[in-house]
Amino acid sequence: MTSMTSEARKNPAIVVGALLAAPFLLFTLLALAPPSHAQETARAKALGARMMCTCGCNQVLTACNHVGCTSSAAMLKELDQRIAGGGSDDLILQSFIQEYGLTVLVDPPKRGFTALVWIAPIVLPFFALYLIWELVRRWRHRAVLSPAGGPPISPELLHRARSESDKDLDE
Amino acid sequence: MDIFGSFALLLAFLFAVYALVAGIVGILTRRALVTKSALNAGMAVCGLVALTVATLEYFFFTDDFSLAYVAAHSNRALPLYYKFSALWAGQEGSLLWWSFLLSIYVFFALFLNRKKHPELMPYVGAILAGVQVFFLTLNNFVANPFHVFAAANSAGAMNVARLSDGSGLNPLLQYPEMVIHPPMLYLGYTGFTIPFAFALAALLGRYPGEKWIHITRRWTMVAWCFQGIGVLLGAHWAYAVLGWGGYWAWDPVENAALLPWITGTAFLHSVMMQEKRGMMKVWNVWLVFVTFMLCILGTSLTRSGIVSSVHAFAESSIGGWFFGFLGIIFIVCLAAWWKNRDYLRSDNQLDSLVSRESSFLFNNLILLAACFAVLWGTLFPVLSEWVTGNKISVGPPFFNKVNVPIALFLIFLTGVGPLLAWRKTSVDALRRNFAWPLVGGLIAGVVAFAFGFRLFYPLVCLILSVFVTLTIVSEFYRGARVIASRDGSSILSAVGELTMRNTRRYGGYIVHFGMVLIFIGIAGSAFNQDIQREMAIGQTITVGPYTILCQNFDQVANDNYQSDRATLEVFRNGHSEMMLYPERRFFLASQVTETVVANESTPIRDLYVVYAGRSPETNKPVIHAYLNPLVKWIWFGGVVVVLGTGLAMFPDRRAALVLRPVAQKSWGDAIAQATTGSRAPSPIPNAPIRRSTPHND
């Protein structure tokens, strides 16, 4: 023990290394330890919220509890089993995709053709905004000052109206 | 009797065909008598379809199960009021109901305008007849509800056969709201046919000015209001009946109903730009066209089986008919617009980006972005399957992620738009109108944040809701104060006077306030809690401040269903607060099980309890309890929206006072110009604002 202490004094890198390794060690121990039920439930809820029920109800798996659903109870049980089996989230999702197809995912993958589902609703409004901008620019460019139809309001009348309305509004 | 119904339906089809053909002939030959007979035929269709509907209802009420449709959707034990609503429970009956409601609209549109707009009505009549021909074709030849059961007798001759009882109504539809919800929604869908017909007629006939907009404004508001009521009733039904704790799941059928409502909302706003400034003519015409096409698309999605939904009718070949009709409408609209596009030239240009006009532009952009996002998400699974061969799901999270920011921006515009003046808003006016509402909203946000309200979107929603509410209140107050000081009346009666002087504007504000309430209610969903557990008698579960004690499980039965029922006592802070009785019913005729939710609803929160059945492993009853905050605000907001819409349809009290010589600008004009905050230099560019109002719409 004393030799270890003296060794550490001689070489502070050991202390630093031990301090850095401790959290990793703790993390590994926690990861290897069997998860508590509460953790499993929370994880099942989170993973279940990333999947659709496949009965055709168009609901998220954890939200689907409609009577007579032929899928959700079995899928949730399957999910619990796979979580207990110890796979990572991605691995579990992949196993569900293998079994049910891409349709089991709540969010379409953000790659390839399906990325379009995410891109279009963002790009199109900006494109429309650009069109409006262009439209407004053209309108303003074309705007020509011309006398209004009918006689103009006299400056005296307008001044009186403004002061009356300002008075009314300030009261 | 079935022959009578079939005959009336066939006659209705023939009358509609005559109305279409004679209408076109009348337009081409300009023979008034032919046109008049076409319009009369169009009106007569209503009576004939009404006879058909009455005949089918007779079959339901007399339990005559010789009709396949009646046998499939009713049974002897079904309560009387559900026998009435069973008419639209299936494909054939719902299409007949659609035709019936459409024919009522057509009748009133033609009857009320029979002595008006002689240049416009022949086109309107022909277009409406064309739409009726399509639906009556489906009723007669594709989805006829009068098919009878037939059986061969001993001599080999075919006779009508009667079943002793029917299969019963889908239990999901055995709920009081289901008697009202589909008619409301269909009144919305079919109602948009009228503005569509007038818009297309005005374009085809090059009808001058904005008259078609004035004629159809109330029709559009009626359709929009019914569509909104239908959507909300559908949401309430899903909440109360489906038992999944929510009211909106972005289901394709829900989305299909929402889409025309969104574009209808955009139209009701942008139309004001055409009325006041003669702008956005092309845009408005296309908004009406698109709204009508979305109605047709919506019902085709529901009926074709293209998208999967629990609400959809069974997959059938009828989708092809709808898509064909949709194609024809699009081609007709496109051709009409292309041929007459010079007629839609704008009278004015936008003077400033800080103006009422630009706020309407942004409002339309945002609404159409929302519409596109919903449509895109709904149809993308189909598109993906076509392109890649892989079917994917686009679930509620996608719609929430995309639409929540859009909705928040829309609330912001709801507050900002009405306070901007037409043409241009001065900095002074901006400061005067926005300072206090903005400060109020921010204070509400800070207070909420201090009390632990930390979720970003609900917090922003709260700030914007307070901001919008304050802008609405300030608008009422400022106007009423002017009237009160001039007339010496109380502020309250001045508010009434102000509202009745410009029902459209102030009704619109009430609609905006209703929408704010709805958005607050929706924001409450961010704080939902739920717990699901197997429960034996004497066990408890806790959700939020409530502890639920299981008192008993028992069974009740009648001719229609058998029910498993839980008796639950709810405690709060140790005191018994209420008893709840969630049920699970087994309907005998259809052999289907359904939940009956026990929901204790208050303005703060709903305690929503579902008897989810028995656990397959332990056979113990499973109770699912939800605590859903602010849900009641959504339904209350819906009522406010309806009231505001109703008010906006009233004629203005001051309308008669507008008449005056044009030669001289009046005191009212001067007040109008002074109060808009506009300081545009004279000479005033182009045409002036068309109507003189103390407060602009």
Residue B627 is predicted with a pLDDT of 94
Sign of the alpha-carbon torsion through B323, B324, B330, B334: positive
Closest alpha carbon within chain A to B672: A161
Give CA–CA dist B253/B210, Å, rounded. 34
Q: CB–CB of B393 and A112 under 8 A? A: no
B-chain residue closest to A128, CA distance: B365
A146 and B686 Cβ atoms separated by less than 8 Å: yes
Residue B663 has pLDDT above 50, yes or no: no
What pLDDT does residue B395 have? 85
Confidence of residue B129 (pLDDT cuts 50, 70, 90): very high
A103, A43: one domain: yes
Collect all residues of chain A within an 8 Å Cβ-Cβ radius of residue B369.
121, 124-125, 128
Q: Please give, rounded to a whole number of angstroms, the shortest distance from the CA of A117 to a CA of chain B.
A: 7
Give yes or no for residue B353 having a pLDDT over 80: no
Whether residue A161 lies inside any domain: the answer is: no
Is residue A151 domain-resident?
Answer: no
Question: Which of chain A's residues have a Cβ under 8 Å away from the Cβ of B481?
Answer: 168-169, 171
CA dihedral B543, B546, B551, B555 (to 10 degrees): -60
The whole-angstrom distance between residue B270's C-alpha and the CA centroid of its chain comes to: 18
CB spacing of B242 vs A66 below 8 angstroms: yes
Grouping H, G, I as helix, E, B as strand and the rest as coil, residue B530 is strand
Statement: residue B497 has pLDDT above 70: yes
In this structure, of A15-24, A162-171, B233-242, B685-694, the range with the lowest mean pLDDT score is B685-694
Q: How confident is the model at residue A90 (pLDDT cuts 50, 70, 90)?
A: confident
pLDDT at A127: 86
- Lowest-confidence range among B63-77, B253-267, B608-622? B608-622
* A117-122: average pLDDT: 88
HSE (side-chain half, CA atoms, 13 Å) at B593: 16
Which of B394, B398, B530, B666 is most worth mutating to test chain A (most A CB atoms within 10 A of its CB)? B394
Interface test with A, best of B248, B392, B561, B622 (most A CBs within 10 A): B392
- Give the pLDDT score at B645: 95
What is the Cα–Cα distance from B565 to B586, expressed in whole angstroms?
11
Q: At what angle do helices B456-487 and A155-170 cross, to 10 degrees?
A: 110
DSSP B555-583: EEE-SSEEEEEEEEEEEETTEEEEEE--E
pLDDT surpassing 70 at residue A170: no
Question: Are A90 and A132 contained in the same domain?
Answer: no
pLDDT at A3 over 60: no
Residue A82 pLDDT > 60? yes
**Which residue type does B118 have?**
P
Q: Which residue has the higher pLDDT, B563 or A144?
A: B563
Cβ distance B384 to A114 less than 8 Å, yes or no, reads: yes
Handedness of CA B503, B504, B509, B512 (dihedral sign): positive
Reported ipTM: 0.75
Question: Is B686 in contact with A168 (Cβ distance < 8 A)?
Answer: no
Residues A94 and A125 placed together within one structural domain of the fold: no
State the pLDDT at residue B360: 85
Q: Is the previous residue joined to B683 through a cis bond, with omega within 30 degrees of 0?
A: yes
CA distance B249 to chain A (A): 7
Position A10 in a domain: yes
Gap between the Cα atoms of B170 and B88, Å rounded: 11
In this prediction, residue A22 carries a pLDDT of: 53
Pick the residue with more confidence: B522 or B356?
Answer: B522
Mean pLDDT of chain B: 86
Q: Within a domain: residue A66? A: yes
User: Mind listing the pLDDT tens digit for each residue in B529-556?
Assistant: 888 888 889 999 999 999 999 998 988 8
> Tens of pLDDT along B277-287?
777 888 899 99
Residue type, A21: A
A46 interaction partners in chain B (CB closer than 8 Å) = none
In 3D, which of B463, B18, B645, B528 has the Cα closest to residue B244?
B528
The whole-angstrom separation of Cα B607 and Cα B245 is 10
Chain B residues touching residue A165 (CB < 8 angstroms): 482, 671, 674-675
Domain final residue, candidates A82, A107, A132 = A107
Q: Give per-residue pLDDT as tens, B441-487.
A: 999 999 999 988 888 999 999 999 999 999 999 989 988 999 998 88
The β-bridge partners of B533 are B623
**Cβ <8 Å between B397 and A106:** yes
The nearest CA of chain A is from the CA of B142 a distance in Å of 26
**For residue B148, what is the DSSP state?**
B
Q: What is the mean pLDDT of residues A147-168?
A: 61
Is residue B170 over pLDDT 90? Answer: no
A49 and A82 both lie in a single domain: yes
**B244:A112 CB<8 A:** no
Model confidence, pTM: 0.83
How many angstroms from the chain centroid is the CA of residue A3? 54
- Residues A94 and A135 placed together within one structural domain of the fold: no
Domains of chain A: total: 3
| Kind and range of the H or E run holding B552 | strand B546-557
Question: Lowest-pLDDT range, A28-42, A138-152, B295-309, B372-386?
Answer: A28-42
Residue labelled with tokens 């023990």:
A1
A28 plus A46 within the same structural domain: no
In tens, the pLDDT along B177-214 reads: 888 888 999 999 999 999 999 999 999 988 877 788 88
Q: With 90 as the cut, is the pLDDT of residue B345 above it?
A: no
On whether the CB atoms of residues B57 and B84 are closer than 8 A, the answer is yes
Q: Is residue B370 within 8 Å of residue B410, measured between CB atoms?
A: yes
Read off the amino acid at residue B450.
A
Taking the C-alpha atoms of residue B521 and residue B630, their distance in angstroms, rounded to an integer, is 5
Examine the pLDDT at A37 and tell me if it is beyond 50.
no
Closest alpha carbon within chain B to A112: B388
- A-B contacts (CB, under 8 Å): 199
- Chain B residues whose beta carbon lies within 8 Å of the beta carbon of residue A58: 249-252, 308-310, 393, 395
CA B323/CA B49 separation, integer angstroms: 24
Query: Searching chain B, which residue's CA lies closest to the CA of residue A150?
Result: B663
Query: According to the model, what pLDDT value does residue A150 have?
Result: 52
Same domain, A60 and A86: yes
Instruction: Compute the distance between CA of residue B300 and CA of residue B313 in angstroms, rounded to an integer.
Output: 10
**In this complex, do B686 and A143 lie within 8 Å of one another by their Cβ atoms?**
yes
Is A88 part of a structural domain of the chain? yes
| Cβ contact B140:B9 at 8 Å | yes
Q: Residue B665: pLDDT above 60?
A: no
Within-domain flag for A150: no
Can you give the pLDDT at residue B696?
Answer: 37
- CA A164/CA B69 separation, integer angstroms: 70
Instruction: Give a yes or no: residue A54 inside a domain.
Output: yes
Distance in Å, alpha carbon of B403 to nearest chain A alpha carbon: 9
Ranking A5-14, B404-413, B688-697 by mean pLDDT, the lowest is B688-697
Domain for residue A69, yes or no?
Answer: yes
The domain of A64 spans: 35-107
| CA angle centred on B692, ends B688 and B694, rounded to 5° | 130
Whole-angstrom distance, CA of residue B681 vs CA of residue B570: 69
CB atoms near residue B325 (< 10 Å): 20
Please check the confidence at residue B128 and state whether its pLDDT lies above 90: yes
- Choice among B96-110, B621-635, B657-671 with the minimum mean pLDDT: B657-671
Q: Give phi and psi for A53, each to the nearest 5.
A: -75, 140
- Would you say B395 and B283 are in contact if contact means Cβ atoms under 8 Å apart? no
